[in-house]
C-alpha cells in the first residue's frame, strides 16, 4: 500500500510540474463545458427569422401574418416583402423560413374557393429545418381552429356550441423527458461524457509514454515492483481527478447550464465509477503500447468526433448498418452516454439499466485485466529506420 | 532562388512520408471518416418513426384514427400494446418513440358528441426525433379534428358542404428549400468529414516550424544560410498542396460516387477549400512557432480544432448563441469555412456574397503567417 | 558454487538484424564480468536483456537461480546503472532516491546510508538535470544500490567526469565486490579490462571470453593488424 501511495505521490508531482498537463486535466474539462454551455445557452431554438410575403394585403391575410407575429417561435423580418426578396433572404441567411400569401387570398376565401398558402423553410440546416416545420404546424393548427370557430360563428352558433363541436376530439400531446425540446438536455449529457472520456484518456494516456521518452521507465521495469502496483499507483491520481471532474461537470451542468439532471444519485455514481475505471485502465493500456506522447495526442483527439457520432447518441444506432451498430456496442462511450441519458434525462431505474451496467462492468474487467497484467519487458529498440516522430522522441525545442 | 525549391519540396515530402503516424492519419483519416459518416447516415431521412398504439376502443372510429396515423410517412406503427403500462415501458426502453392511446368508448362518445381525448406521448430524449414526431402528430391532429368535426356538424344538421368549408380553411403547401427531402446525410456528412480533415491538417501544420526548429538538423539549416522565409514558404506550399491532395479523393467519392448534390460549381468549392486550407495552415504554423515541442503544438492545435465545428454554428445556429459570443466565433477560420460550405453546398448565393468569405480567410492567413514569422524570427535571435 | 548468471544460446534480433547469434556464458558470485565491445556491438542490448528490460528471441537466461522469462523475483536483488540517463529528470536528487527506494521497497536506513557513502547530501534538493556528470553518476549508482543488490549491472559507469567522483565510484564498487556482490559491466575502452575478472568480447553477434590479460593482448594484436594494413596501403 505504501508503495502504491508513493508511486501515486510522485505521479502527482509530475502532473504538477507539467503545467500544460495540469491545465488539461483540471481545467480543460470545465473550460469545454462552460464553452459549450455558452454556445447552447439559449437551449431552445426560437425567434426563427421569418419573411412573410403578403401579396394580398387584406384583413384576412393580415390575420395570417398576425398569427405568426404572435408567437415567440418566429421573428418576422419586415424588410422581406416580395417573393424575390424572400428568395434572396433565404439564400443569404437573413431569413430561415417564409410564408407566401397569394394575391387572391381574401377574394377566394370570400367565395369559399380553395386557396393556397405556401410555407417554406430552410433545409440546409436541419436544426432550423425540423424545428421550423414543427412551429409551422403549431401555428397552422391554431390558425385553422380560429378559422373554423369564426366560420361556425358566422353560421350563428353560440360560443359554447362551437367549443363543443371543435373539442369533440382533442389530441393531448405530451412530450416526455424533454417537453420544451431543450437542446441542452438533448446534447449535453453526451458531450460531457465525451469530454470526460477524451480528456481522461489524454491525461493518463501520457503517463507511461512520458517515462519512456525520459528513459525512466527502466526504473519501473528493473525494480521488483509488481505490475498491478505500478498501475494502481499511477492510476490513482487520475482516478480521483476524473471522479472529481465527473461530479464537478455534473454539478455545473445541472446548476448553470440548464440541463435536466435527474435520476438516482446512486446510479449516477455507479455509472461514473465504472466509466472511470474503464477510462483510467484503458488510458493506461494505451500509454503502455504507444511509442510516444505525440502519437497518443494525435490519435486520441481525432477519435472524438467519430466516437460521438457512431455512439448513436444523436442518430440512433438502429438506423445504421449492422456492422457499425455492433462496432459502436463495443465502445464504452456508447454504453456510458446512453446509460447516462437514461438515468439523468429519462430518470430510469436499475431494472432498465442492468444491461448497461453489465456491459460496462465487462468492459471494465477487460481493460483492467490488460492494465494489471502487462509484460514488464520491452521490445528491443529496432535499428532505427528512416522514420520520423515514431520512436520515443519527437521534435522539441532544445 | 528557384534552384533550392525542388530540394526543399522533396525533403519536406520525404519528411511527411516518414512520419508514419501522421502519414496514416492524413491518408486514411478523411476517407475513413467519409465511409463512417455515410454509414451512420445511410438512412438519412427521419421517417417511419416507430409508433405504438393502444386501442382501448377497438371500434370502426378508432381504426380510422389508426389508419390516419398509418397514413403519414413520418410514423410507422410497429406494435399494439394492450394497455398504457406496456406502452410506457416501451417508451422507457426506447423501443418506440411515439405512443398513442385511444380511450375506451371513443366511438360512442363521438357519436354522442361528447368530448373525448386521444393521448399522444412522445419520447423527447432525442429531440431530432421528437421534433419530427411532433410535426407529424400535429398534422394528424388537424386532419383528424377536421374529419370528426365535419361529421359532428353534419349530425347537427348543418349542410355537408358548409361543414366541409368550416374545416377546409386553407390549403397549405409546405416546401423545404435547398434540401427538399430533409436529408440528414446531405446536411451533415460532408461537413463532418471536412471537420476530420481540418483536424488532420491542423496536426500536420502544427509541425511546420517546431518539426524543423525542434530537431538538431535545424543547426545545419541555420549554418547553411538558406533564408528561413524561403524554407518555410516552400514547406508551406508542400503542406497546403498535400492537404488539397488528400481532400480530392474525398470530394470525388462524395460527389461522384455517393452523389451528394453540390449546388455551386465544383471549381468554386475547391477554391474555397484551398483558401481555407491556407488559412488553417497559417494558424497551425502560428501555433508551432511558439510551442515548446511537437506534443504541445499538437495539443494547442487540437484545443482549437476540436470544438471549432460546434463553435462554427453549423449545427446549433450562431444566431442562437449569446450576442457577445458571436464575434468570438467569427475569429476562427473554421467558422467562416463551415458557414461558407453550407452556403455553397446548398444555396450558391453568388460571388457577391461569398467574396467576403474568401477575403476574410485570406486576411486571416496573412495575419497568422506574419505573426508566425515574427515569433520564428525571435526564436532565431534567441539561438544566435 | 552456483553461477549468478547462466546464459545459454541467447539469440536476439532487432528488425532483420541479428544482434546475438547464440551466446553462452556463466558469471560466478563475486566475479566482475566485463562486457566489452565497440560501439554498436550490442553491449547495452545484452545488459538490458540480463536486467530483464528487453525481450529476446530465444535461449535461456537464468539470473540468481531464476529463469528470467518466467519470473520477476530476481529483480529484488538487482541494481542497474544505465548508459543513457534513466533517473527521473523532472525531480530532484532527493526525490529520485526516495521514489526509487519506494519502487524497490528499500528501507529508510538504506537511503541514508547511500547518501552518506556517495556523498550526496549537498545535492539532495538539486534537480538532477542540474547535476554535473560525476555527481549524476554517483546518484545513479546510489539509486542502484538502494536495495542492497546481489548483482549490479552497470553500463559505461565510468565516463569522462571528475576524478573525485570516479575515485569514489571505483572505491564503492570494490567495496561492493569485497562484500560478495557480483558485477556485470559494459565498457568500451580497453583500459578497464584490468579491473575485471573476466572479459566477454562482443563482436559480430558472438561473445568470446577472455582473461583480462588475454583481452589486452588481443586488442593490441588487432590495433597492430589494422595499422599495418593501412600502412601497407600507403606503401
- The predicted pLDDT at position A116 comes to 85
Q: Which residues of A touch B168 (CB under 8 A)?
A: 114
- The torsion angles phi and psi of A76, rounded to 5 degrees, stand at -75, 125
Per-residue three-class SS string for B195-229: HHHHHHHHHHHCCCCHHHHCCCHHHHHHHHCCCHH
Q: What is the pLDDT of residues B110-153, one digit of tens each?
A: 888 888 888 999 998 888 889 999 999 988 888 888 888 888 88
- The predicted pLDDT at position B368 comes to 94
Domain boundary among B141, B167, B193: B167
Residue B302, in any domain of the structure: yes
**pLDDT at residue B1 greater than cutoff 60:** no
Residue B178, in any domain of the structure: no
- Report CB contact under 8 Å: A380, C48: yes
Q: Which residue of A has its CA nearest to C40?
A: A383
Mean pLDDT throughout C30-55?
Answer: 89
Q: Which residues of B touch A142 (CB under 8 A)?
A: none
Q: Percent of chain C, pLDDT > 70? A: 98
Nearest Cα neighbor of A97 from A140, A55, A44, A135 is: A135
Residues B378 and B242 in one domain: yes
- The predicted pLDDT at position C38 comes to 83
**pLDDT at residue B383 greater than cutoff 60:** no
Residues B228 and B118 in one domain: no
Surface of C (35-64) touching A: CB under 8 A: 45, 48, 51-56
Three cell numbers at C171?
Answer: 572505491
Least confident of A154-168, A229-243, A359-373, C149-163: A154-168
- Report CB contact under 8 Å: C103, A220: yes
Between CA C201 and CA C184 the distance in angstroms is: 13
- The predicted pLDDT at position C135 comes to 92
Q: Where are the alpha helices (DSSP H) in C66-107?
A: 93-104
- Provide the CATH number for the domain formed by A48-166 in this structure: 3.40.1710.10
Q: What is the pLDDT of residues A21-33, one digit of tens each?
A: 888 888 999 999 9
CA of A171 vs chain B CAs: smallest distance (Å): 5
Tell me which residue range forms the domain holding B284.
4-42+183-382
Q: Which residues of A touch C80 (CB under 8 A)?
A: 218, 222
pTM for the predicted model, two decimal places: 0.89
Domain count, chain C: 1
Q: Do chains A and C touch (3 or more CB pairs under 8 A)?
A: yes
**pLDDT at residue A384 greater than cutoff 60:** no
Q: Which residue has the cell 410535426?
A: B135
- Report CB contact under 8 Å: B122, A319: no
- The predicted pLDDT at position A390 comes to 66
Residues B333 and B191 in one domain: yes
Q: What is the pLDDT of residues A365-376, one digit of tens each?
A: 999 999 999 988
CA of B237 vs chain A CAs: smallest distance (Å): 20
Q: Which residue has the cell 589486452?
A: C216
Q: What is the pLDDT of residues C108-149, one digit of tens each?
A: 999 999 999 999 999 899 999 899 999 999 999 999 999 999
CA of A61 vs chain B CAs: smallest distance (Å): 11
Between CA B257 and CA B190 the distance in angstroms is: 13
Among the partner-chain residues A14, A215, A375, the one whose CB lies closest to the CB of C90 is A14
Q: Where are the alpha helices (DSSP H) in chain A?
A: 2-17, 19-26, 28-39, 59-69, 83-92, 105-110, 126-154, 159-166, 183-205, 207-213, 217-222, 227-255, 265-289, 293-310, 322-329, 332-344, 350-372
Among the partner-chain residues B129, B145, B166, the one whose CB lies closest to the CB of A169 is B145
Mean pLDDT throughout A2-30?
Answer: 89
CA of A167 vs chain B CAs: smallest distance (Å): 6
- The predicted pLDDT at position C61 comes to 93
Residues B316 and B335 in one domain: yes
Q: Which residues of A touch B210 (CB under 8 A)?
A: 395-397
More confident residue, B216 or C209: C209
Three cell numbers at B374?
Answer: 515574427
Q: What is the pLDDT of residues B346-370, one digit of tens each?
A: 998 888 899 999 999 999 999 999 9
Q: Does C95 touch chain A (CB under 8 A)?
A: yes
- The predicted pLDDT at position B173 comes to 83
Among the partner-chain residues B130, B207, B210, the one whose CB lies closest to the CB of A178 is B130
Question: Which candidate in A216, A231, A376 is best for mutational testing of the C interface (most C CBs within 10 A)?
Answer: A216
pLDDT band (50, 70, 90) for residue B381: low
- The predicted pLDDT at position B384 comes to 43
Prediction ipTM score: 0.89
- The predicted pLDDT at position C149 comes to 92
Residues B139 and B196 in one domain: no
Mean pLDDT throughout A25-47?
Answer: 89
CA of A225 vs chain B CAs: smallest distance (Å): 30
Mean pLDDT throughout C70-85?
Answer: 90
Residue B342, in any domain of the structure: yes
- Report CB contact under 8 Å: B184, A126: yes
Is B260 exposed, middle or buried, given 0-12, 13-18 or 19+ CB atoms closer than 10 A?
middle
A-C contacts (CB, under 8 Å)? 99
- The predicted pLDDT at position A268 comes to 94
CA of A281 vs chain C CAs: smallest distance (Å): 20
Nearest Cα neighbor of B25 from C32, C83, A306 is: A306
User: Would you say B361 and B333 are in contact if contact means Cβ atoms under 8 Å apart?
Assistant: yes
pLDDT band (50, 70, 90) for residue A344: very high
- Report CB contact under 8 Å: A301, B298: yes
Q: Where are the alpha helices (DSSP H) in chain C?
A: 43-50, 93-104, 108-117, 133-145, 163-178, 212-234
- Report CB contact under 8 Å: B343, A165: no
Q: Percent of chain B, pLDDT > 90? A: 40
Surface of A (336-395) touching C: CB under 8 A: 375-383, 385
Q: What is the CATH number of the domain that holds C202?
A: 3.40.50.300
Q: What is the pLDDT of residues B312-332, one digit of tens each?
A: 989 888 888 888 999 999 999
Tell me which residue range forms the domain holding C144.
5-234
**pLDDT at residue C232 greater than cutoff 70:** no
Q: Does A20 touch chain C (CB under 8 A)?
A: no
Nearest Cα neighbor of A7 from C78, C143, C71, C104 is: C104
Q: Which residues of C touch A377 (CB under 8 A)?
A: 52-55
Between CA C102 and CA C97 the distance in angstroms is: 8
- The predicted pLDDT at position C41 comes to 82
Q: Which residues of A touch C20 (CB under 8 A)?
A: none
Among the partner-chain residues C53, C102, C105, the one whose CB lies closest to the CB of A218 is C53
Contacts of C232 (CB under 8 A, 6+ apart): none
What are residue A385's DSSP bridge partners? none
Mean pLDDT score across all residues of chain B:
88
DSSP annotation of B253 reads: I
CA of A122 vs chain B CAs: smallest distance (Å): 5
- Report CB contact under 8 Å: A127, B316: yes
Q: Which residue of B has its CA nearest to A164?
A: B115
Residue B304, in any domain of the structure: yes
Among the partner-chain residues B140, B176, B306, the one whose CB lies closest to the CB of A301 is B306
- Report CB contact under 8 Å: C105, A17: no
- Report CB contact under 8 Å: C102, A17: no
More confident residue, C96 or A161: C96
Q: Which residue of A has its CA nearest to C18?
A: A383
Domain boundary among B116, B132, B167: B167
More confident residue, A41 or B248: B248
- Report CB contact under 8 Å: A377, C55: yes
Residue-range domain boundaries for chain A: 2-40+193-372, 48-166
- Report CB contact under 8 Å: A224, C90: no
pLDDT band (50, 70, 90) for residue B287: very high
- The predicted pLDDT at position A24 comes to 86
CA of B367 vs chain A CAs: smallest distance (Å): 24
Contacts of B228 (CB under 8 A, 6+ apart): B376, B377, B380
The region, left, alpha or beta by phi > 0 then psi within -120 to 50, assigned to residue B313 is left
Domain count, chain B: 2
Q: Which residues of C touch A381 (CB under 8 A)?
A: 14
Among the partner-chain residues C48, C95, C104, the one whose CB lies closest to the CB of A223 is C104
CA of A382 vs chain C CAs: smallest distance (Å): 5
Q: What is the pLDDT of residues B202-243, one digit of tens each?
A: 999 998 888 888 888 888 887 887 888 888 888 999 999 999
Q: Which residue of A has its CA nearest to B137?
A: A173
Q: Does A214 touch chain C (CB under 8 A)?
A: yes
Domain boundary among B125, B140, B167: B167
Three cell numbers at B362?
Answer: 485570406
Q: Which residues of C touch A17 (CB under 8 A)?
A: 90
Q: Do chains A and B touch (3 or more CB pairs under 8 A)?
A: yes
- Report CB contact under 8 Å: B117, A41: no
More confident residue, B241 or A159: B241
Amino acid at each position: 500500500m505504501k508503495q502504491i501511495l508513493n508511486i501515486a505521490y510522485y505521479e502527482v508531482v509530475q502532473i504538477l510540474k507539467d503545467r500544460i498537463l495540469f491545465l488539461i486535466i483540471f481545467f480543460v474539462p470545465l473550460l469545454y463545458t462552460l464553452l459549450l454551455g455558452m454556445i447552447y445557452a439559449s437551449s431552445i431554438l426560437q425567434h426563427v427569422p421569418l419573411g412573410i410575403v403578403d401579396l394580398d394585403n387584406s384583413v384576412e391575410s393580415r390575420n395570417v401574418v398576425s398569427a405568426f407575429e404572435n408567437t415567440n417561435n418566429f421573428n418576422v423580418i419586415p424588410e422581406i416583402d416580395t417573393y424575390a426578396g424572400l428568395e434572396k433572404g433565404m439564400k443569404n441567411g437573413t431569413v430561415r423560413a417564409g410564408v407566401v400569401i397569394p394575391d387572391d387570398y381574401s377574394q377566394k376565401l370570400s367565395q369559399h374557393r380553395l386557396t393556397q398558402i405556401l410555407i417554406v423553410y430552410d433545409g440546409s440546416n436541419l436544426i432550423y429545418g425540423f424545428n421550423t416545420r414543427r412551429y409551422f404546424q403549431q401555428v397552422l393548427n391554431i390558425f385553422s381552429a380560429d378559422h373554423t370557430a369564426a366560420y361556425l360563428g358566422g353560421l350563428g352558433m353560440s360560443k359554447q356550441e362551437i367549443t363543443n363541436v371543435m373539442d369533440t376530439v382533442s389530441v393531448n400531446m405530451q412530450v416526455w423527458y424533454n417537453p420544451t425540446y431543450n437542446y441542452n438536455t438533448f446534447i449535453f449529457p453526451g458531450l460531457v461524457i465525451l469530454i470526460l472520456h477524451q480528456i481522461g484518456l489524454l491525461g493518463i494516456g501520457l503517463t507511461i509514454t512520458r517515462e519512456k521518452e525520459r528513459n525512466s521507465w527502466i526504473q519501473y521495469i528493473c525494480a521488483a515492483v509488481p505490475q498491478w502496483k505500478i498501475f494502481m499507483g499511477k492510476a490513482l491520481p487520475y482516478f480521483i481527478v476524473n471522479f472529481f471532474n465527473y461530479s464537478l461537470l455534473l454539478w455545473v451542468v445541472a446548476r448553470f447550464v440548464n440541463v435536466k439532471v435527474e435520476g438516482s444519485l446512486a446510479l449516477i455514481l455507479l455509472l461514473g465509477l465504472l466509466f472511470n475505471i474503464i477510462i483510467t485502465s484503458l488510458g493506461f493500456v494505451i500509454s503502455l503500447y504507444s511509442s510516444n506522447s505525440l502519437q497518443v495526442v494525435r490519435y486520441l483527439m481525432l477519435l472524438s468526433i467519430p466516437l460521438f457520432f457512431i455512439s448513436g447518441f444523436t442518430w440512433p444506432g438502429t438506423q445504421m448498418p449492422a456492422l457499425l451498430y455492433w462496432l459502436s456496442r463495443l465502445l464504452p462511450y456508447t454504453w456510458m452516454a446512453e446509460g447516462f441519458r437514461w438515468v439523468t434525462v429519462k430518470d430510469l431505474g436499475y431494472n432498465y439499466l442492468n444491461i448497461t451496467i453489465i456491459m460496462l462492468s465487462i468492459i471494465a474487467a477487460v481493460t483492467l485485466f490488460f492494465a494489471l497484467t502487462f509484460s514488464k519487458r520491452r521490445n528491443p529498440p529496432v535499428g532505427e529506420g528512416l522514420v520520423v516522430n515514431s520512436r520515443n522522441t519527437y521534435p522539441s525545442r532544445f | 532562388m528557384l534552384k533550392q525549391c525542388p530540394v526543399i519540396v522533396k525533403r519536406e515530402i520525404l519528411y511527411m512520408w516518414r512520419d508514419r503516424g501522421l502519414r496514416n492519419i492524413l491518408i486514411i483519416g478523411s476517407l475513413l471518416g467519409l465511409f463512417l459518416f455515410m454509414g451512420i447516415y445511410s438512412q438519412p431521412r427521419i421517417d417511419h418513426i416507430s409508433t405504438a398504439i393502444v386501442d382501448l376502443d377497438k371500434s370502426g372510429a378508432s381504426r380510422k384514427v389508426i389508419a390516419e396515423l398509418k397514413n403519414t410517412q413520418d410514423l410507422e406503427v410497429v406494435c399494439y400494446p394492450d394497455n398504457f403500462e406496456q406502452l410506457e415501458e416501451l417508451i422507457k426502453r426506447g423501443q418506440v418513440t411515439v405512443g398513442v392511446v385511444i380511450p375506451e368508448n371513443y366511438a360512442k362518445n363521438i357519436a354522442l358528441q361528447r368530448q373525448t381525448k386521444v393521448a399522444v406521448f412522445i419520447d423527447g430524449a432525442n429531440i431530432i426525433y421528437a421534433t419530427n414526431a411532433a410535426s407529424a402528430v400535429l398534422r394528424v391532429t388537424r386532419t383528424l379534428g377536421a374529419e370528426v368535426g365535419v361529421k359532428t356538424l353534419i349530425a347537427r344538421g348543418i349542410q355537408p358542404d358548409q361543414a366541409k368549408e368550416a374545416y377546409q380553411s386553407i390549403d397549405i403547401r409546405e416546401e423545404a428549400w435547398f434540401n427538399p427531402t430533409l436529408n440528414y446525410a446531405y446536411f451533415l456528412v460532408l461537413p463532418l468529414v471536412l471537420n476530420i480533415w481540418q483536424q488532420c491538417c491542423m496536426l500536420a501544420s502544427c509541425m511546420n516550424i517546431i518539426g524543423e526548429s525542434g530537431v538538431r538538423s535545424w543547426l545545419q539549416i541555420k549554418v547553411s544560410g538558406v533564408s528561413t522565409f524561403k524554407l518555410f514558404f516552400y514547406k508551406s506550399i508542400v503542406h497546403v498542396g498535400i492537404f488539397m491532395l488528400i481532400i480530392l479523393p474525398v470530394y470525388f467519392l462524395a460527389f461522384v460516387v455517393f452523389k451528394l448534390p453540390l449546388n455551386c460549381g465544383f471549381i468554386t468549392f475547391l477554391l474555397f477549400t484551398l483558401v481555407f486550407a491556407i488559412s488553417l495552415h497559417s494558424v497551425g504554423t502560428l501555433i508551432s512557432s511558439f510551442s515548446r515541442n511537437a506534443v504541445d503544438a499538437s495539443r494547442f492545435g487540437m484545443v482549437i480544432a476540436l470544438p471549432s465545428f460546434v463553435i462554427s454554428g453549423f449545427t446549433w445556429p450562431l444566431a442562437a448563441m449569446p450576442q457577445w459570443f458571436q464575434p468570438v466565433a467569427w475569429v476562427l477560420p473554421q467558422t467562416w469555412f463551415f458557414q461558407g460550405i453550407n452556403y455553397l453546398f446548398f444555396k450558391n448565393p453568388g460571388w457577391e456574397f461569398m467574396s467576403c468569405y474568401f477575403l476574410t480567410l485570406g486576411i486571416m492567413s496573412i495575419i497568422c503567417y506574419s505573426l508566425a514569422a515574427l515569433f520564428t524570427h525571435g526564436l532565431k535571435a534567441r539561438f544566435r | 558454487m552456483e553461477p549468478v548468471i547462466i546464459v545459454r544460446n541467447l539469440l536476439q534480433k532487432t528488425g532483420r538484424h541479428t544482434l546475438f547469434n547464440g551466446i553462452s556464458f556463466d558469471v560466478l558470485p563475486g566475479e566482475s564480468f566485463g562486457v566489452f565491445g565497440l560501439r554498436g556491438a550490442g553491449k547495452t542490448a545484452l545488459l538490458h536483456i540480463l536486467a530483464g528490460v528487453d525481450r529476446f528471441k530465444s535461449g535461456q537466461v537464468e539470473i540468481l537461480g531464476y529463469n528470467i522469462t518466467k519470473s520477476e523475483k530476481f529483480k529484488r536483488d538487482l541494481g542497474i546503472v544505465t548508459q543513457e540517463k534513466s533517473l527521473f529528470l523532472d525531480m530532484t536528487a532527493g526525490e529520485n532516491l526516495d521514489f526509487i527506494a519506494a519502487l524497490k521497497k528499500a528501507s529508510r536506513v538504506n537511503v541514508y546510508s547511500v547518501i552518506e557513502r556517495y556523498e550526496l547530501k549537498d545535492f539532495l534538493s538539486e534537480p538532477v538535470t542540474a547535476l554535473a556528470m560525476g555527481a549524476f553518476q554517483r546518484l545513479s549508482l546510489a539509486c542502484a544500490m538502494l536495495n542492497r543488490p546481489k548483482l549490479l549491472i552497470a553500463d559505461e559507469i565510468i565516463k569522462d567526469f571528475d576524478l573525485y567522483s570516479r575515485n569514489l565510484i571505483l572505491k564503492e564498487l570494490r567495496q561492493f565486490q569485497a562484500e560478495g556482490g557480483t558485477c556485470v559491466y559494459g565498457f568500451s575502452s580497453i583500459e578497464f579490462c584490468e579491473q575485471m575478472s573476466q572479459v566477454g568480447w562482443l563482436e559480430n553477434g558472438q561473445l568470446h571470453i577472455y582473461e583480462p590479460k588475454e583481452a589486452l593482448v588481443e586488442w593490441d594484436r588487432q590495433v597492430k593488424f589494422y595499422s599495418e594494413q593501412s600502412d601497407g596501403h600507403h606503401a
